Chain A
Amino acid sequence: MDSLVGFVGKNYVLIAGDTNAGRSIMRLKDDFDKLVPIDSHKILAKSGEIGDGNQFCNLIIRNVSLYRIRNETELTTKSVAHYTRRQLATAIRKNPYSVNLLLGGYDKKDQKGSLYYLDYLGSSKKINYGAQGYAALFVGSILDRFWKEDLDFEDGLELMKKCLREVEKRLIIGTRCFLIKMINSDGISVVEKVMINSKNKNEIEEEN
């Protein structure tokens, strides 16, 4: 039921997530932030059970901080992805965390953004674009068609909104409100909190 969409552009990574938190058929909270910052230049976008997501993301964030304190050096996105995958893989046969993640980060050393797809079973893959949840069904083909290497920020944002519009239009479970965050050399910034109303002739109302 959670929708996460992300892709890599020219020196940035855009990640969007819906802002619903619910229990069975009921929406408990409609401004829930699923895009959790690991450090200044990495976001862990979580989907799945709320409790597992909270606890697992806390585990990753605290251990990354501990590493930074002990060794006085920041981890690269690749290292964090590998560490996260390992935690998920060792847990799956004991007490599994039912969280599916998108890890996006910007590495100052390479001056490039990267995006990783992580699964509750312990799979991990570096991707250029991808989605988690039901959104993946609708958004996968749009990204296949329109994503290009080194998209500018404006083109990227337009592509992201195209994806979110599709999710709102076709997913029967109502998700109108999405939060879009960007990671670039300056760090993490909230781009927009978008509320999509496809009945309004495909217009998007922006709430900042």
Chain B
Amino acid sequence: MFTLGSVLDNDFKSTIEDFSFETEFSTNQLMLPNIEKPFEFAQSIIGLEKDLQENENQLMFHQQKKEERKERALIKGYKGTTTLAFIYEKGTVVAVDSRATSGQYIASQSVQKVVPVNEYMLGTLAGGAADCQFFLAHLGRICNLYELRNNEKISVAAASKLLNNILYSYRNYGLSVGSMICGYDTRGPQLYYIDSDGSRLKNSLFSVGSGSPFAYGVLDAGYRWDLSKEEALDLGRRAICAATFKDSYSGGTVKVYHIDENGWVKISDDDASELWYRYEEKEKKKK
């Protein structure tokens, strides 16, 4: 009888490989225990002395709250940052902060949270810095290969889908990626949100990171499709500034980028704290 086959049937494998991007990174080769959620298992590994104590008192261990266990886990994940991007009539605006934290310690105030994928596409970093940097650089490689093979620029939708598929195959492995793929292609300004859980969303504005609720407040209040370029850049800058003011895990400098049909351009790079007081003075002068 006729049976439904999966797409990678033997008949089709050769043709699929021509168009697929099966590299050594697309298939799972991380050595982790062969269980359903390896990262959660890893998080449950608490320090040895404490482990012995827990074994004596199994009931207490199970009654312990998930947050407490996470606190003491040997493997932790962080998502301290604020990044935002939005599309409007004339292009795409991307604004980010530049602070990296490791618990309560500020590891760096000058992190590059925007990674160029190609001349007209940018990817933002939120979550695990190493994960984001690696996968975005890899996406840049894939997009370059696509351009060479197909003699046309890859669309933002396709690039984001490629990243989405790769991240989906690693979805239970504890990667932490909250990236936005922003660009300008033949369909106009485009913006996609890609997550390490495997979600891919298309919308006109996103903000990602621990400071995102604060950024959303300013962004939602001032956003319109028909902003002028100056207004749009100012909105992005102010939203990140507001987030760095409220969120302790965001700060450093506020970097603003603009993408239009000519490609991406870095517009400004201002110290977040100075920026806040500059805005305050401006408001005072207005009065």
Contacts and interface: CB of A to CB of B under 8 A. Distances in A.
B6 interface: yes
Contacts of B199: 21, 23, 49-51, 54
Contacts, number: 56
Nearest to A65: B7
A125 interface: no
A134 interface: no
Contacts of B198: 49-52, 54-55
Given A54-B200, A55-B168, A26 B212 contact: yes
B47 to A, nearest CB: 28
A28 B199 CA distance: 11
Interface stretch (A66-74, A161-169, A182-190, A191-199): A66-74
Nearest to A29: B203
A26 B206 CA distance: 11
Interface in A53-107: 54-55, 62-64, 66-67, 70-71, 83, 95-96
A62 B7 contact: yes
B83 to A, nearest CB: 14
B203 to A, nearest CB: 5
Interface in B1-57: 2, 4-7, 36
Interface residues of A, number: 22
A66 B4 contact: yes
A63 B206 CA distance: 33
B216 interface: yes
B195 interface: yes
B7 A51 contact: no
A193 B198 CA distance: 27
A153 B2 CA distance: 37
B184 interface: no
A66 B7 contact: yes
A55 B164 CA distance: 10
A70 B7 CA distance: 12
Contacts of A49: 197-199
11 contacts: A28-B193, A28-B206, A29-B201, A32-B201, A50-B195, A51-B171, A51-B199, A54-B199, A63-B4, A63-B7, A67-B4
Interface of B: 2, 4-7, 36, 164, 168, 171-172, 193, 195, 197-203, 206, 212-213, 216
